[in-house]
Amino acid sequence: MNQTGIWYGGDYYPEQWLKSPDILKQDIDYMKQAGINTVTMGMFAWSFLEPEEGRYNFGWLKERVDELYKNGIYTIMGTPSGARPKWLSDKYPEVLRVDDTGRRQLFSGRHNHCFTSPVYREKVRKINKELAGQFASHPGILMWHISNEYGGECHCALCQKAFRLWLKKKYDSIDELNRRWCTAFWSHIYQSFDQIESPSSIGETMVHGLNLDWKRFVTEQTTDFAKWEVDALREEGAAQPAAVNLMYDYKGLNYHKLSTAVDVVSWDSYPLWYKEKEIFTARDNGLQHDFMRSLKMKPFLLMESCPSATNWQGVSKLKKPGLLKLAGLQAVAHGSDSVLYFQIRQSRGCSEKFHGAVIDHYGGDDTRVFQEVKEVGRELDLLGEIAGTSVRSKAAVIYDVENRWALEDAQGPRNKGLFYHEVCTKIYSAIRKAGINVDVISMDENLEKYDLVAAPMLYLFQKGMEQKIRQYVGSGGCFLTTYWSGIVDDGDRCFLGGVPYGLKEVLGLRSQEVDALFDGEVNHMVPAGGKGKRYECRCLCDLVQLNGAETLMVYEDDFYQGYPAFTKNSWGKGTAYYVCADAEQEFYNDIFHKLTEEAGIKPLLNGTIPDELEITSRESAGVEYIFVQNFSRNEIRLEKPLLEDLLQGTILTGDITDSGGINGYGTVVIRRKLTAEIRN
Amino acid sequence: MNQTGIWYGGDYYPEQWLKSPDILKQDIDYMKQAGINTVTMGMFAWSFLEPEEGRYNFGWLKERVDELYKNGIYTIMGTPSGARPKWLSDKYPEVLRVDDTGRRQLFSGRHNHCFTSPVYREKVRKINKELAGQFASHPGILMWHISNEYGGECHCALCQKAFRLWLKKKYDSIDELNRRWCTAFWSHIYQSFDQIESPSSIGETMVHGLNLDWKRFVTEQTTDFAKWEVDALREEGAAQPAAVNLMYDYKGLNYHKLSTAVDVVSWDSYPLWYKEKEIFTARDNGLQHDFMRSLKMKPFLLMESCPSATNWQGVSKLKKPGLLKLAGLQAVAHGSDSVLYFQIRQSRGCSEKFHGAVIDHYGGDDTRVFQEVKEVGRELDLLGEIAGTSVRSKAAVIYDVENRWALEDAQGPRNKGLFYHEVCTKIYSAIRKAGINVDVISMDENLEKYDLVAAPMLYLFQKGMEQKIRQYVGSGGCFLTTYWSGIVDDGDRCFLGGVPYGLKEVLGLRSQEVDALFDGEVNHMVPAGGKGKRYECRCLCDLVQLNGAETLMVYEDDFYQGYPAFTKNSWGKGTAYYVCADAEQEFYNDIFHKLTEEAGIKPLLNGTIPDELEITSRESAGVEYIFVQNFSRNEIRLEKPLLEDLLQGTILTGDITDSGGINGYGTVVIRRKLTAEIRN
Amino acid sequence: MNQTGIWYGGDYYPEQWLKSPDILKQDIDYMKQAGINTVTMGMFAWSFLEPEEGRYNFGWLKERVDELYKNGIYTIMGTPSGARPKWLSDKYPEVLRVDDTGRRQLFSGRHNHCFTSPVYREKVRKINKELAGQFASHPGILMWHISNEYGGECHCALCQKAFRLWLKKKYDSIDELNRRWCTAFWSHIYQSFDQIESPSSIGETMVHGLNLDWKRFVTEQTTDFAKWEVDALREEGAAQPAAVNLMYDYKGLNYHKLSTAVDVVSWDSYPLWYKEKEIFTARDNGLQHDFMRSLKMKPFLLMESCPSATNWQGVSKLKKPGLLKLAGLQAVAHGSDSVLYFQIRQSRGCSEKFHGAVIDHYGGDDTRVFQEVKEVGRELDLLGEIAGTSVRSKAAVIYDVENRWALEDAQGPRNKGLFYHEVCTKIYSAIRKAGINVDVISMDENLEKYDLVAAPMLYLFQKGMEQKIRQYVGSGGCFLTTYWSGIVDDGDRCFLGGVPYGLKEVLGLRSQEVDALFDGEVNHMVPAGGKGKRYECRCLCDLVQLNGAETLMVYEDDFYQGYPAFTKNSWGKGTAYYVCADAEQEFYNDIFHKLTEEAGIKPLLNGTIPDELEITSRESAGVEYIFVQNFSRNEIRLEKPLLEDLLQGTILTGDITDSGGINGYGTVVIRRKLTAEIRN
């Protein structure tokens, strides 16, 4: 890439202002003022690039790219497949999605085309090739941005057919499919692949194997479509990397698969600040950053974020002064090489007209938001050397979407809520609170590189998962899992013979029964030995039969009072922990404080870390960058050891107050030598 | 009209009792007993008037009209288009509505025909002409009641086509439509009018200009249909005035347009008494009365109200003794020339069989309800001279439905609720509480006749609105507006260059950013100078930049503590106030107490007005009628000045208690000379 | 039947395990261990019995029946109509239901075939005949189980046609239908039966007569289908009794009609234990047991119940130790001759894979659940002689589904909830709390056999109901009814002339008006005479005019303070009580304590019955069995008289503690001679 330092800028839609050359000119002036070096264009411009079928018009876009480049601003070029022109839908209705009840949707919105339609694929291929033909060799093009926020599904006849072929390829024989999907239940035996229909609210919803395979098919069809888009660019010689932008905690697709279609992972981060304390929002957002980073285990891009208030949340809250910078730097701290906004200039009409922007309808540069945007630009400029550096984590949390699909589709043991996302977040937060980097990984990841792996509620085991965990623990890993793990195989079929499947020896126990608690109902965990902290637990309580494990805590209430609630088992060279119930955050904070120590993982800085502080790091050959971020609005004082450790580095940005603290919403970034001692 | 005094009676469905002549006879006896002088008939009688296509049967209805007239009871004759016969739907399915997803509805209910269908128009025209032929010259016919509670919309192919023609007529060129609708957003450029489809839940929902124009089209198509109905009557020589009955706070149609189709506005008032204190319900209902009156700035009719409990609300509460009279007189106090009920006699079956009626299933005249109905009859008889008198208001609140459409369709700044209706009600109530009449007007109304105009949350400005306000303030008007005003033009496209559009000088400020508060979150407004009352504010907080305005109050909390929260600006000969946040009722009570004084508007009576009292007036040449109504169940004592002022008039009805008060649920009406001093 | 004692076992699906002979063998071992003597098979096996159209395969099933029989286990043979094979739906789409909006459903789930389709009837007839041909004479077959949990409805053209024929048969002339349905309202007059369409969410919903007749038609069509199924079996010589399994408080069908199609009533009981105190759940469940028993006034079967946690409720709670036995014995106590579980062995996949089972996925017999199942088996063995004995009740509660249909479909007087189920439950519980057996009957039942009949909220009177009640009271019965009774006739048309219809003399009053209370709003009932207990009442308050009745209690609040709230009237030889408002449980407890005494009904045991105890009885010639069940988790001590009375019998099972009590979750069953004194 021909851009150095951190990319700063955002989505830009000059096509909305082509009749206002003064505005286009002003945009560039403002961008320069704000330190913006990167824009994304083209994403929703199909009607302007191909106003009629086969008639192309790239002049206006070329002019924009040129003009920006002349002013030192690079372009990420988007393919326009996210929103079709009206003429395309009208002439070829097959490109419109069909919903699960068989209704063909009307032209509207965006992100609603059939991924299977040969016509749509052909039209996309053509426009992408034209686009690449125009821009592949332009020095101002940094990257290709493929479509926008892929998602959704189509149930048209073409998709049904593709799904059947996909199933046939997967199972080969219909008998095998019947066996794996357990269709003997309710007499649902299929005689041939041709009989299969996608899940539907006016049809089948309860064959879990079908539901799961349908979601997998949707991911693969979407990924195939994304690859098809990239291939079209490559055919015309486009050599720049390609990216797709992903969404917060999105369950519609398996992002581990989709991200294989591109070179770079990027995502759109819109935290709902102030709904709770900023540190909780930051943890939640941090988990997503780390998830995105872990997809390719390399720097990602923050592709979209809001310079002010979003317009699509229930309540459009302003960011309080300083939060914009704090949030932007958090992305960099977790591995992003960019801070990009949606959007540079606010559109005048339609659904996003009140979404925050660098330049609003008023249009002046004397707004609070614009001043803060400028301030972020200045800051990022100081951190340019961090671009491209990596993040090293010795701990990982498995947060797996296929597991989630199965878990949430299952009926029982608690249809009112299982709280998978929440337990993963609790564990993630506990490790982060201990001052340690975390990877957020899928089941497919190699575990051997970690000293500590947590796999909460790992309901579904991909083939061989139990073997991988045995291997990991056997060779010395520290492993923690919980209630409702190892229950079903990759076809969502229950394991026989006792669960967690294949791990009864590793964990030294067997899960016998799971009690579900009503909303508001509480049980407690107390130390097995007597004295010590007591924690609340809710939702699910596993009743285990021990087979070698040591009981660390027991239940306090109900008929299973005194039964194990938290256990430990030494196995091979490693240790395996089992949390029986949905415990509160404080429990996880306390145990991960100990577990990380046991696993020999050193915190990034020594000393006690205050509650509302986040400490993260990036590194490159021999150098480490530590980010210390204060997510409260008040100054936080650092205790002596922490402060001293921090001050051993060189401050790249941020201030230590006279009283040895960090200002409210403040960020301090230091650079220090990466010694062997630090890496341990 | 050949009826004098106040019309008293209601909807009457003799077609349900044709086989029970004794009941029909008893009905007339009871009506006379109750002082009823007016009934509405024919509204749902199509199956009886035209039992088969082209075979008419008016005999039974004629007999009823004759019989009633002989007994001194007049008829409002309804056209039957609100509910089609089954044969019509079966033979001509095009008369059935198509919903937004394209599903043709089945025969059912009422109010569900296509307003475009040429067949339906023709059939309605024929039956209306037949009806007029029969009754146009009957001396017992007071008025024509056109259909019933028009509402709803149809998305059939005929309507789509009509919509496209309507758009073509409005915009002339598709480029202009694209520009006004901002279709560059998400590449939604239309190439021709033929491509346009109505908003749909399986299609387009987010092009705000389309949504807004669709609503306008629906209003125009409905209005055109209503005119078509009236024209059919006129062709056959029907000379009596025509009315349509409108509904409480109905958002489906622009009543300012619909009411142009007829001579008289009437409405159906069903307040949910006792959900809160009666005075609050009365304010809410009073606003609607004044809205209906302001549509034509002349007396309206209370076309429907319930003599007992309704059956379609969540909880069917009885009216406590005395409330029936109180509510009936409130309508008259606000400008109604009638008190009419739905219904005279309760139907035996189907959906409204438990709706309160003058005569219930029991059928006796010894019921509490019937006794109260009689009492109301006696009372209205005393007030006959008030019929036809007008209401004079020097203050107005703009409560505009097109503004509301746009406001509530926009995404942001608070999708969980903007509370437009609520803020208008707060301001209306505050002015009423000051003892002053209020008009409730649309943006299109002439402002010059008012001394005080409030325009809360006037998000959308019709073309020229800013000019009208400038003119108003410049020539000495007192004007108040609030946060989230002047944001979009009449195509729902954001104004550029700073808002409130065109009023930055008038208001002496510019709105910079709007913060939205979570449900339950509160900020406060405190006097800019220090000491004084403090008010809660919620939902939306505007952060303004002053440019000449004086700060009266400031925010107390959040990062915008100390920023202006309420401002005043002198401009030209007038004054303009700006309320920055969604303040509580008490704030509005306090400021409108002052503002009305400043604007030189005298209250209807001197002295402090107790909280649960409503004071209203009507007037005719030289004479004024003052209504003082007690909406609490307990006596309210009047302070001396108020009592003295009241007693200067002649009491037409109602009692002053020995302790100088008004009984619980009591109404006192006086007549007094309208001196120049009073009119000021 | 060739089975003696109480049937113990449950649903068994060997077709899911045909490839695992070891599992099939283990199943039988486990069943024998657990004392299981009965299984239900075949219910969802159609795909295995007829894998292709016309190709049958009964071998595997025959082998199972044989094998089980050899091991002393009998089979209830299910017909497979509850879940079609895929090939059947694919080849004959008419068998798939059409929903009320006209959408043909896709193949899926179960319980979703058209009951009218000639094709489906023919296919079901064939498979049933084949099944009967195979098993009619097998000594191991105890009974035929017809389909599974009949329910739902179809709106296809075939059903529409059948509905029209049904209406024509019922009303003969369309004029009569118009009159009964009151179609004069909103001009809905039908010209011919051909014009009628079923109720639809995109069509008619508010013609109450249509809605009610549609529900009746659905019941009759379903019943006819069930008879069709039974007939097919009988034709092939199947002589064993037939049963259908019914569901908890199911409103979709009139079970009094459906149960006429079979010999034995059975039902599926899945109480949600622990949502409230166990005794409340037990009362609620007890009402259903008694309802099922009262359908045929003879022993019923508990066809399904869960040995552990269900999987389809919001929260899958475990049964605490001992509850399984307690609940199983409660069924027997109320008249069941079986305790059957869904399911013997847990399925591996699809929607019910986490539903509790005798043998779970783990597969061992060392589970808590399996041990408790064994314990229940041992217990039932001790109670074998009770099988076949009857229940004698001198009190009855009318809980009528047609009444409920009409009541809940009506608009008003409280659309937010009328609480019919709740008031019936309160009265049922009050009588049970008095230690007295109760029948739960429909309006069609003969009342003469009871000393006390309660008919709460009997809104709809079937033809002659008022006459039946007059007869009952006149000849000495004790009768209680409440507000909102006797309002409409069997066509849901309001009675004229005063209500409760036909009972104004019997009750000595007339209902004048009904006030509805908001959620949370409370009124009170206080003794008419002054001192005494005060009760809360909510929801509905009837304002009655007395005409001879004695006022026992009056209202305390609102404008109807002092009006009667509870009255008594002596009429003929009997007494009639009227409860005016929705009173709290305590009120009913207190009055039924007195009323049962007045009616001369002796409690099953003398002495005060503790709150959490249930006492029930069964009897055969000369012998009575008393069940005393403790629904709390703690021991309950019995006062002396109660204990002494109990100890006069022979204990069949259960322990009296040293302190004269019954252990938590304990059951004591005694046998005693049925003396004339006891029978009184």
Assign residue C675 the CATH number of its domain: 2.60.40.1180
Mean pLDDT for the stretch of residues B482-490? 98
Q: Where are the alpha helices (DSSP H) in A383-452?
A: 401-409, 420-433
Q: Both tokens of residue C150? A: 């009949």
Chain A neighbors of C364, CB-CB under 8 A: 498
pTM of the model: 0.97
Whether residue A184 and residue C314 make contact (CB cut-off 8 A), yes or no, is no
CATH number, domain of A461, equals: 3.40.50.880
Q: In degrees rounded to 5, what are phi and psi of residue A435?
A: 80, 35
Q: Which chains touch C (3 or more CB pairs under 8 A)?
A: A, B
Tell whether the model's pLDDT for residue A158 goes beyond 50: yes
Do C292 and C265 form a contact (C-beta atoms < 8 A)? Answer: yes
Domain, as residue range, for A626: 613-679
Residues whose CB is less than 8 angstroms from the CB of residue B262 and which lie 6 or more positions away in sequence, other chains included? B146, B226, B230, B241, B242, B243, B244
Mean pLDDT for the stretch of residues B600-624? 95
3 state DSSP class of C176? helix
Tell whether the model's pLDDT for residue A3 goes beyond 80: no
3 state DSSP class of C444? coil
At A420-459, the pLDDT tens digits run: 999 999 999 999 999 999 999 999 999 999 999 999 999 9
Per DSSP, what are the bridge partners of residue C564? C554
Q: What is the model's pLDDT at position C79?
A: 98
Do both A512 and A625 map to the same domain?
Answer: no
The answer, for B410 touching chain A at a CB cutoff of 8 Å, is yes
| Residue whose pair of structure tokens reads 């009639």 in the numeric block | C576
Per DSSP, what are the bridge partners of residue B578? B481, B567
Do both B651 and B535 map to the same domain?
Answer: no
Do both C466 and C353 map to the same domain?
Answer: no
Do both B432 and B356 map to the same domain?
Answer: no
> How far, in whole angstroms, is CA A545 from its chain's centroid?
36
C107 vs A197, A411, A512: nearest CB: A197
B413 vs A87, A311, A369: nearest CB: A311
- Chain A residue with the nearest C-alpha to that of C315: A414
Q: Which chains touch A (3 or more CB pairs under 8 A)?
A: B, C
Mean pLDDT for the stretch of residues B650-672? 97
CATH number, domain of A654, equals: 2.60.40
Residues whose CB is less than 8 angstroms from the CB of residue C676 and which lie 6 or more positions away in sequence, other chains included? none
Tell whether the model's pLDDT for residue B1 goes beyond 50: no
Q: What is the model's pLDDT at position C621?
A: 87
How many angstroms separate the CA of residue B78 from the nearest CA in chain C? 13
Q: From CA B616, how far away is CA B332, in angstroms rounded?
A: 10
Mean pLDDT for the stretch of residues A102-109? 96
Among residues C386, C416, C439, the one where a domain terminates is C386
Mean pLDDT for the stretch of residues B360-376? 98
Closest CA to C345 of C6, C1, C10, C5: C10
Residue C369 domain-assigned?
yes
Do both B515 and B446 map to the same domain?
Answer: yes
Mean pLDDT of chain B: 97
Q: What is the model's pLDDT at position A680?
A: 59
Do both C593 and C450 map to the same domain?
Answer: yes
Instruction: Pick the catalytic residue from A50, A94, A278, A304.
Output: A304
Q: What is the model's pLDDT at position C3?
A: 59
Q: What is the model's pLDDT at position A679?
A: 67
Do both A447 and A540 map to the same domain?
Answer: yes
Among residues C386, C415, C433, the one where a domain terminates is C386
Do C480 and C595 form a contact (C-beta atoms < 8 A)? Answer: yes
Closest CA to B4 of B336, B338, B390, B387: B387
Q: In degrees rounded to 5, what are phi and psi of residue B208?
A: -60, -35
Q: What is the model's pLDDT at position C334?
A: 98
Whether residue A412 and residue C311 make contact (CB cut-off 8 A), yes or no, is yes
Size of interface A-C (CB pairs under 8 A): 174
Tell whether the model's pLDDT for residue A678 goes beyond 80: no
Do both A412 and A510 map to the same domain?
Answer: yes
Do both A457 and A413 map to the same domain?
Answer: yes
CA dihedral of A548, A552, A556, A557, whole degrees rounded to 10: -40
A202 vs C87, C106, C361: nearest CB: C106
The answer, for C181 touching chain B at a CB cutoff of 8 Å, is yes
Is residue A675 very low, low, confident or very high in pLDDT (cuts 50, 70, 90)? confident
- Chain C residue with the nearest C-alpha to that of A493: C349
Mean pLDDT of chain A: 97
Residue C287 domain-assigned?
yes
Mean pLDDT for the stretch of residues A281-305? 98
Closest CA to C168 of C190, C193, C140: C193
The mean-pLDDT minimum among A388-397, A669-678, C292-301 falls in: A669-678
As a residue count, chain C comes to: 680
Residue C172 domain-assigned?
no
The CA–CA distances, whole Å, from A649 to A268, A392, A606, A646, A671 equal 32, 18, 13, 6, 5
Q: In degrees rounded to 5, what are phi and psi of residue B256?
A: -65, -35
- Chain B residue with the nearest C-alpha to that of C487: B361
The answer, for B312 touching chain C at a CB cutoff of 8 Å, is yes
At B300-309, the pLDDT tens digits run: 999 999 999 9
* Number of Cβ within a 10 Å radius of residue C169: 9
Mean pLDDT for the stretch of residues A401-415? 97
Whether residue B351 and residue C209 make contact (CB cut-off 8 A), yes or no, is no
Closest CA to C299 of C349, C249, C256, C243: C243
Q: What is the model's pLDDT at position B621?
A: 86
Is residue B3 very low, low, confident or very high in pLDDT (cuts 50, 70, 90)? low
Burial (Cβ within 10 Å: 0-12, 13-18, ≥19) of residue B79: buried
Tell whether the model's pLDDT for residue A664 goes beyond 60: yes
Chain C neighbors of A518, CB-CB under 8 A: 274-275, 315, 317
Residue C187 domain-assigned?
no
Residues whose CB is less than 8 angstroms from the CB of residue C176 and which lie 6 or more positions away in sequence, other chains included? none
Q: What sign does the CA torsion over B257, B260, B261, B266 have?
A: positive
CA dihedral of A560, A561, A566, A569, whole degrees rounded to 10: -70
Among residues A540, A572, A598, the one where a domain terminates is A598
Residue A536 domain-assigned?
yes
A354 vs B191, B410, B491: nearest CB: B410
The answer, for B674 touching chain A at a CB cutoff of 8 Å, is no
Residues 543-562 of chain C whose Cβ lies under 8 A from any Cβ of chain B: 543, 558-559
Q: What is the model's pLDDT at position C679?
A: 67
Q: Is A149 a catalytic residue?
A: yes
Stretches where chain C sits below pLDDT 50 are: 1-2
Residue B1 domain-assigned?
no
> How far, in whole angstroms, is CA A303 from its chain's centroid?
12
At A191-208, the pLDDT tens digits run: 999 999 999 999 999 999
Q: What is the model's pLDDT at position A1?
A: 45
| Residue whose pair of structure tokens reads 């009050």 in the numeric block | C430
The answer, for C346 touching chain A at a CB cutoff of 8 Å, is yes
Closest CA to C507 of C525, C486, C526, C490: C486
Residue B473 domain-assigned?
yes
Whether residue C107 and residue A203 make contact (CB cut-off 8 A), yes or no, is yes
Do both C416 and C366 map to the same domain?
Answer: no
One-character DSSP codes across A583-602: E-HHHHHHHHHHHHHHTTPP
Whether residue C496 and residue B354 make contact (CB cut-off 8 A), yes or no, is no
Whether residue A496 and residue C349 make contact (CB cut-off 8 A), yes or no, is no
CATH number, domain of C304, equals: 3.20.20.80
The answer, for A16 touching chain B at a CB cutoff of 8 Å, is yes
- As for how many domains chain A has, the answer is 2
Q: Both tokens of residue A154? A: 């189509």
Q: What is the model's pLDDT at position C680?
A: 59
Tell whether the model's pLDDT for residue A2 goes beyond 60: no
Chain A neighbors of C312, CB-CB under 8 A: 411-412, 415
Q: From CA C504, how far away is CA C454, in angstroms rounded?
A: 17
Do both A575 and A632 map to the same domain?
Answer: no
Q: Both tokens of residue A279? A: 């540190």
Q: Is C50 a catalytic residue?
A: no
Residue C191 domain-assigned?
no
At B33-60, the pLDDT tens digits run: 999 999 999 999 999 999 999 999 999 9
ipTM: 0.96
Whether residue C348 and residue A191 make contact (CB cut-off 8 A), yes or no, is no
Do both C617 and C585 map to the same domain?
Answer: no
Q: What is the model's pLDDT at position A4?
A: 77
